[in-house]
Amino acid sequence: HRFFAMVKSNAPSAGVHEEINLPHTAAIELYHNALSFCSQKVRVCLAEKGIDYESNHIHLIKTEWHENCSSLYKEVNPAITVPVLVHHGHPIYESLSQIQYIETLKPIPELIPKGLEEKVAFWTATAEVEIEGGELGSMTEEALNAAAARCFGTSVAMLSMPVFLSLYEDITWGNIFHGFLVYPNFGKAFTSFIMKLFGSNFITMAPFSTKSVPIISVGRKHTRQHLEELDKALRMDGRPYATGADFTMADVALISLFERLWQGNYEFLFEDLLAVKAYWQRIQSRSSFKQAILEHRLPIMNKARARIISMKEKVPAYKDALE
């Protein structure tokens, strides 16, 4: 815990750091991860703006190994988080600051239009809880419901456990044990060990099911409510996007949430919401979705989704927990 606190204390502040000069081969570089919510949002922003960049994919343990804990990546970001945007060697930390920086680099098309800031903020609120490390498991059902009701991102985060468990089934034991040596938070390294040990069965296995099933249930209930709210907004005036006629930062944030729902095979949550269903199809048709999402889906991510679908077909208790 002391070492993790030290990592946090050494974490660079948000924003551009012109005093830091990192080795670089392109004017703009992005260090990111395929599965990361924040990485997805920054990639979509860059694609929507038509900004070319050099892609530096950094693995997290859920996509293969703790590359983010490597000595090379610590030189880029001592906080070992992704994404990091680099402009002429100067790093910009924290995804919100990166998105704001991208807006200043190329103001058109405008992703945070003047006058729509509040509407955009409503859909871009980020998850308020740690998905791993025990925070969700320690919350009361009342607290879980309150957090999920406030934020679409939080409710979707609560649905991520099956995705992570399925991913861990394809992570090697060597990479899991390596986490105990390099990852500064022992609790999260141990969580990875448990997830790998039990895999997808974790969800329905006592005593874990007493925590995992209620979390998924709360996440599912409130995700459905947020989707109904989006459906109502889309139907109200026939708008094509979350805040109106134009694609904005609200849609960028929603892409990452819908992508996680796809990853976990949760499309049934909006199968009857025709406006939302059409919206998701519209989003997927955008070139930015192809460039920022489809082209970055790793084989391990596709295998994890396929395993979830297979588990639901073969194990009734697993399907009941998810649906």
Q: Which residues are paired to 30 by β-bridges?
A: 55, 85
φ/ψ region of 267 (left if φ > 0, alpha if ψ in -120 to 50, else beta) reads: alpha
H or E stretch including 92? strand 90-93
Given this model, what pLDDT does residue 9 score? 47
pLDDT at 172: 98
Q: 211 to each of 139, 204, 216, 321, how far by Cα in Å?
A: 10, 10, 9, 11
pLDDT reported for residue 175: 98
Give the Cα-Cα-Cα angle 307, 312, 315 (nearest 5 degrees).
Answer: 105
Q: Each residue of 276-322: pLDDT tens digit?
A: 999 999 999 999 999 999 999 999 999 999 999 999 999 999 999 99
Specify the pTM: 0.93
Q: What is the pLDDT of residue 286?
A: 98
Nearest CA among 232, 76, 44, 257 for reference residue 159: 257
Question: In this predicted structure, what is the pLDDT of residue 134?
Answer: 58
* Cα–Cα nearest to 123, from 159, 152, 96: 152
32: three-class secondary structure by DSSP: strand
Give me the DSSP letters along 112-174.
S-TT-HHHHHHHHPPP-S-SSSSHHHHS-HHHHHHHHHH-HHHHHHTT-HHHHHHHHTTS-HH
Residue 261 in tokens? 């729902």
Can you list the residues of the chain whose pLDDT is less than 50? 1-9
- Beta-ladder partners of 27: none
> CB count, 10 Å around CB of 290?
12
Strand 15-16 to 54-57 pairing: unpaired
- Whether a cis peptide bond, with omega within 30° of 0, leads into 107 is no
